[in-house]
Structure 1
Amino acid sequence: MRPKILCISFSDIRADARVLRQLEVLAEFGDVTTLSYGVKPDAASDHLEIDASLPSLPQTPVGVALLALRLHRRAELIAPAVQRAFQLNAGRTYDLVVANEARALPLAHRIANGAPVWGDMHEWAPEERAHVRSWKLLVKPFMTDVCARYLPKTQAVTVVNDSIAALYERAFGCATETVRNARPFVDLEPVPVDAATIRLVHSGAAVPGRNLEGMIEAAAGLGPQYSLDFYLVPARDGGKYRRYLEELAAGAAQVTFHDPVKPEELPAVLNRYDVGIFSLPPQTKNHELMLPNKFFDFVQARLAIVFSPSPETSRLIRESDLGAITEDHSPAALIRSIQGMTRDNIARYKDNAHRAARQLSSESDESTERSILRRLLSLNPSTASGSIPER
C-alpha cells in the first residue's frame, strides 16, 4: 500500500513552480493529497481546495488583536484558511505531511498527529514582507515565534539557498537542507541575437515590491534598439497591480505585457529572447539573499542574464560567465549594464548558459528531496517496507 502524503501550500499550486516540482517528486513515493487554493494539480491523487478569498494569516479583528498582544499560540490556528483546512481534513490520516512556508507549520503538525513533517520554508519566513509596516510590526514576531516553536520538532527543513539556510541554523538551531528553485533540464539551443533589436524579458509575479516599475523605467531609457516583454502571473488582487503597471508603461512603446504561461512551457517561450533581467532593491533579507525561480528559468531558456547584486545570484553568474551584475539597484545602473553588453557578449553569455544548463537544473535538488522522503517514510513502520522507491 502506497504511503498517504499531504502537501499543504497556501498558494495556487498550478501556478507555483516550486511546489509543482516538489509535488512531482512526492508522487513518486505515495498518493498525494494537495491542500491549497485553486483546483487540483495534475500530479495529485486527491485535492482539498481552500476558497481563494480566505487569508492564510490571522487577518481578522480577533487575529490582529492577538498578534498585537503577542498571543501567538492563540493566533496560530485561527486564520480563516487554516480553519477551513481543518474542516476539509476531518477524519483523514497521513503518513507524511509537507508544509510549504512557515505559516503552514502549526497546521501541518496538528494534522500530522505524530506522523513526520517536512517543512519547506522556501525563504526567510520572518522577513517575507518586512518592508510592509503592518507585517514588520505584527507578522514578523508571529513568524519568528512559529519558527522557534515548530522547526525544532520538524523532521526535515528545506530552504532555497545556503545563505538562507545559515539564517535558520543561527536563529533557530535547526539543521536544514538546500533545495534550490531550479527547474528540470530543458533541451533547448540558444537563439541567435536579433540584428535589429535586443530583446529583453522578465517573468515572475505581478505583485508590489518586485521593482517592476524600475525595470519599466530602465526600458524606457534604453531607446528603440531594445524591447522589454513581461510574462507576469497575476496576484490575488483581481489584476489591479498589473493594470497599474500597464498604465505606467503606456508611454513606452518598447514595453509589452503578455499573458502568463504554464511553468512547464516558460523556457520555450523565453528562449526566443536575448537577455533575462531582474533588479530588486534589498528591502528585506530575502531580497538581499535572493536566488529566484526566474534565474533558473533564464538559464534553461539559454538567455544572457542581467541581475542586480546579490551573493547567491552574483556567485553563479560569475562562476559560469552568464551575464552582467549591475553596480547597484537603480534603473540607471540597469541601463548601464544592458548597454555595456555587445551582441557578441550576449551571444557568448547565451552559449555559456547552454553549457551550464545541466549543472543548474533541478537534478541535484530532486535527489535531496528523494533522500528526505526515503528517510521520513522509513520512520513509519507501515510505510518502511516495500513501498519506498530506491532511486
Structure 2
Amino acid sequence: MTKIAILCDSDPFTKPRPSRMIEMLEGHYDLYVFGKGVATGKEGIRIFSFPNSKSAAQRTAQEEEELRNLCRQREFAPLIFTPNRLVLQSRLMAVEGLEILIVEDITLLPFAVEYKERYGSCKIVIDLREFYPLEYENDRGWQESFGLFFEYLCGTYLPYVDWALSVSEGLIAKYKEVFGLECELFLSLPPLYDLHPQINSHLELVYHGLISPDRESENLLQIASLLNKGIYLNLMVLSNQDWFLQEFKKEAQKRSNVRILEPVKLEEIIPRTNAFDLGLITLQNNGFNNTNALPNKFFEYIQARLGVISTPLPCVRAMIEEYQIGVVSEDYAPLSVAKMVNALSGERVLDYKRRAHQVSATLSLKANQVKILSRIKALLEEGK
C-alpha cells in the first residue's frame, strides 16, 4: 500500500484540518502521522510523536527577545531546527519509501523538502491555513522579526511544493500575488452528523473557538449587552493567552444572558452545539488573515444545523448568500450585529436552520474526501 506521511507541528488529532485529513485518507493509504506531543494513538496508523516546545506565552521575555534577534539578523536555522524538531527530523528520515508528504504547518516544510532531496521521488502537499507572513501584522515587533521568518519560509520552501491547498479565495489570491504559488480551494468541511434542527422556545446563540485580543473577541460581550431580553449567548471559548481568557470570563459573568460552556473534544463540538439556533462569527477586518477568513466554525455551525450570523467577511458573506443559511451584518460594529439578531423572527431563524440541514451533506467531509483521493491519485501517477 502507498505510504503517505502527515506532518503536524501540534497534536493533529486535536486540530480540525489535520484530524480530518487523517480521517479522509485512513484505510486508503498506509499512513505515517508525525505530530508534536501526540497524546493518543489510533489503530492502523503509525504515530511518531516528537516533544513539545515552549509556546510564545511560555517563553521568558529574554527567550522571546533572543528569537526575535535571530529573526532580525536573518539567522533562521535555529528557529527551524529546534531541539524537538530534530527528533522529528531523525524519525522522518528513518522512514523510507514515503510517496507523499502532507505538511500541515509551514514550520515543518523544510523537513519535507529535506526528505524529498534525500529520497528523490516523493511529492509534497501543503495546507496553508493562513497567509503566514501577515499572521500578526498589527504587531510591529512581530512583523519585523517573526514576520521575516515566515516570509523566508514561504520564499525558500514553497517552490518545492507539488500541490498547495488553502482555506479561502482571498488567501489563494495572496499566495499567487506574493509568491507565485498556485493553490486550490479546500474548504474546512467536518464529518456528516445525523442531526436535525432543534426548536427552542427562545433564541439561543452560540460561539465556539479561540478568543484573543487580535480577534477583538471582547466584541462578543458587547453584542450580548445589546441583545433583546430573552436572547441568550452561549460561549464555548479557549485562548492561547490565559490572562485574556480569565478576564473575558470575569466580564461574561456580569451578564445574565451569557453562559460560559465547558470546552469539549473536537468530535463533540457539533453534537453539543446542535441544541442552539444561530452560530456567531464576529471576526473584524483588522488584518489580512481575519478579513479573508473562512473559519472552521462556519462549517461546524452548518453541520450542527444552525443558522449563521456573521460580520461582513467577504468569503463568509459569499457562502451565506449562496446557501441562504444566515445573514450578514451591515458593518463590523457590535451594534450592527446585535440589531440584526434582534430583528430576526422565529420563523426566519427556523428557515435558516432548515436550509443548513438541507446542505449539511453537501458541505461535509465526504465532498472533500472525493477531491483529496482523486488529487492524490493523480499526483502518484505523475511520479510513474
* Alignment TM-score, normalising by the size of structure 2: 0.89
- Cα 1:139–1:270 change in 2 (3 A) is same
Tell me how large the CA RMSD over aligned residues is: 2.5
| 1:281 Cα deviation after fit | 1.0
Separation in 2 of the partners of 1:47 and 1:54?
22
Matched, 1:209 2:214: yes
Q: Which moved more, 1:287-296 or 1:28-37?
A: 28-37
Q: What's 1:199 paired with? A: 204
- Contact 1:37/1:52 (CA < 8 Å) preserved in 2? yes
Contact 1:190 1:350 in 2 (8 A): yes
Aligned mates of 1:44, 1:202 — CA distance in 2: 35
Counterpart contact for 2:34–2:50, Cα < 8 Å? no
Q: CA deviation at 1:207?
A: 4.0
- Worse-superposed segment, 150-159 or 109-118: 109-118
Q: Give, in angstroms, the shift of residue 273 of structure 1.
A: 0.4
- Shift in alpha-carbon separation, 1:347–1:297, aligned structure 2, 3 A: same
Letter in 2 for 1:100: E
Task: Give the letter for the 2:307 counterpart.
Answer: A
Distance 1:76 1:96, change over 3 A: farther
- CA distance in 1 between partners of 2:65 and 2:2 (Å): 40
Distance 1:379 1:205, change over 3 A: same
Q: CA deviation at 1:240?
A: 4.1
CA distance in 2, matches of 1:79, 1:281: 34
Q: Distance between the aligned counterparts of 1:106 and 1:90, measured in 2?
A: 12
Contact 2:68 2:146 in 1 (8 A): no
Instruction: Measure, in 1, the Cα distance between the counterparts of 2:221 and 2:43.
Output: 37
- The answer to whether the Cα contact below 8 Å between 2:4 and 2:99 also exists between their aligned partners in 1 is yes
Query: Which residue number corresponds to residue 389 of structure 1?
Result: none
Question: Structure 1: any 5+ residue segments left out of the alignment?
Answer: 382-391
Q: In structure 2, how many angstroms separate the alpha carbons of the residues matched to 1:357 and 1:174?
A: 31
Alignment partner, residue 32 of structure 2: 32
1:376 paired with 2:383, answer no
Change in 2 beyond 3 A, CA 1:254/1:246: same
Distance in 2 between residues matched to 1:280 and 1:366, nearest whole Å: 28
Q: 1:120 aligns with which of 100, 118, 127?
A: 127
Change (3 A) 1:198 1:262: same
Distance 1:202 1:138, change over 3 A: same
Hey, what does 1:138 align to over in structure 2? 145
Matched, 1:219 2:218: no
Secondary structure of 2:80's aligned partner: coil
Deviations 1:241-270 (A, max 9, x none): 322211121211221122222222222211
CA-to-partner distance for each residue in 1:15-65, whole Å, 9 max, x for gaps?
211111111123222232232233135366222323333459x96665432
Aligned positions, number: 375
Report the residue type matching 1:373 in the other structure.
I
Alignment partner for residue 194 of structure 2, among 187, 191, 197?
187
Percent identical pairs in the alignment equals 23
**TM-score normalised by L of structure 1:** 0.88
Work out the CA distance in 1 between the residues paired with 2:335 and 2:140.
28
Mapping 1:259-270, distance limit 5 Å:
259-270=262-273
Question: Which residue number corresponds to residue 13 of structure 2?
Answer: 14
Deviation (angstroms), 1:235: 4.0
C-alpha distance after superposition, 1:55-113 (max 9, x if no partner): 59x966654322102344x3552344433422444533333221113222112212343
Distance (whole Å) between structure 2 residues aligned to residue 81 and residue 241 of structure 1: 28
Segment drifting more, 243-252 vs 83-92: 83-92
1:53 and 1:256 map into 2 onto residues whose CA distance is 34
Partners of 1:346 and 1:223 in 2: CA distance: 15
Give 1:37-186 correspondences, 5 Å limit.
37-42=37-42, 45-55=45-55, 63-72=67-76, 74-75=77-78, 77-89=80-92, 91-93=94-96, 94-112=98-116, 113=118, 114=120, 115-186=122-193
Distance in 2, Cα, partners of 1:200 & 1:37: 34
Tell me the amino acid that sits aligned with residue 19 of structure 1: P
Runs of 5+ consecutive residues of structure 2 not aligned to the other structure: none
Alignment of 1:361-372 (within 5 A): 361-372=364-375
**Quick one: distance in 1 between partners of 2:312 and 2:16?**
24
Report if the CA contact (8 A) 2:312-2:330 is conserved: yes
Aligned partner of 1:344: which letter? E
Deviations 1:323-359 (A, max 9, x none): 1111221211111111111111111111111122222
Paired residue for 2:344?
A: 341
Query: 1:206: Cα distance to partner?
Result: 4.0
Counterpart of 1:388 in structure 2 is none
